[in-house]
Amino acid sequence: MAKSFEFLFDYGSPFSYLANIQTPGFARRAGAAVIYRPILLGAVLKATGNSSPMAVPAKARYMADDLRRWAARYGVEFRMNPYPFLGNTLPLMRGAVAAQRVGAFGAYHDAIFRAVWADGLDLGDRGVLGDALRRAGIDAATLVAAAELPEVKDELRRNTENAIARGVFGAPSFLVGDELYWGNDRFDFIAEALARSV
């Protein structure tokens, strides 16, 4: 059986953005497939009694500095997104599930992460979101409609409930079998777990 690991993410998580940049290269080096699992981070935080670091002023200040450090380490663009849609990423996460179902996930995933955390766009504005999707070569109207399908909503709900049941409390999270790794800086541990899984 081929090696694989799960990457659980929410577009509202800046550390998920940073982890996402590293994930494809890591997977190639590890000879493993990535299973991308969109989850709703707000629901995970609520269910686990966790809260956003932004809710604690000292943590928020530290996190802003830490994000800049990691972006510099990875050599990537990063901008804190000031828009309130980040408090409810439900439409974007349903969009991820819909994109997986219609075969547009790679383009959608990269476009959304870039729009949120490199370009600092307000994806709560439907026009801005539509423009970002069109630039990525995605039929925005079709994808937005697909994101409203009951089966898409159900899949995102199942992903989130399953994540909580498996011990996930934040994003990004990675799973190798039942082993959980949280954070954008856990790739060494994930590599060791993948090596043990052979």
71 pLDDT above the threshold of 90: yes
Please list, in sequence order, all residues whose beta carbon lies within 8 angstroms of the beta carbon of residue 72, skipping any fewer than 6 positions away.
Answer: none
Judge whether 173 counts as a catalytic residue: no
Question: What pLDDT score does 188 carry?
Answer: 96
CATH of the domain at 150: 3.40.30.10
Please list, in sequence order, all residues whose beta carbon lies within 8 angstroms of the beta carbon of residue 116, skipping any fewer than 6 positions away.
Answer: 11, 12, 17, 81, 86, 123
User: Which pLDDT tens digit goes with each residue over 176-195?
Assistant: 999 999 999 999 999 999 99
Question: What pLDDT score does 197 carry?
Answer: 84
100 pLDDT above the threshold of 80: yes
Q: What does the alpha-carbon distance between residue 150 and residue 5 come to, in Å, rounded to a whole number?
A: 27
Q: What angle do CA 80, 24, 154 make, to 5 degrees?
A: 75
Mean pLDDT (whole number) for 29-55: 91
List the domain range (segments joined by +) for residue 147. 3-196
* Total domains in the fold of the chain: 1
* Identity of the residue numbered 51: S
Question: What pLDDT score does 1 carry?
Answer: 53
Regarding predicted confidence, which is higher, 183 or 53? 183
- Beta-bridge mates of residue 180: 175
Catalytic residue among 13, 16, 52, 197: 13
The pTM (predicted TM-score) of the whole model is 0.94
**Burial class, 20, CB count within 10 angstroms (exposed 0-12 / middle 13-18 / buried 19+):** buried
* Identity of the residue numbered 140: A
Q: Within 10 A of 163 (CB to CB), how many other CB atoms are there?
A: 26
CB 98 within 8 A of CB 143: yes
> What single-letter DSSP state applies at residue 194?
H
DSSP assignment of 62-101 equals HHHHHHHHHHHHHT--------GGGG--HHHHHHHHHHHH
User: Which pLDDT tens digit goes with each residue over 108-117?
Assistant: 999 999 999 9
Question: What pLDDT score does 55 carry?
Answer: 75
User: Which pLDDT tens digit goes with each residue over 75-95?
Assistant: 999 999 999 888 899 999 999
**Burial class, 103, CB count within 10 angstroms (exposed 0-12 / middle 13-18 / buried 19+):** exposed
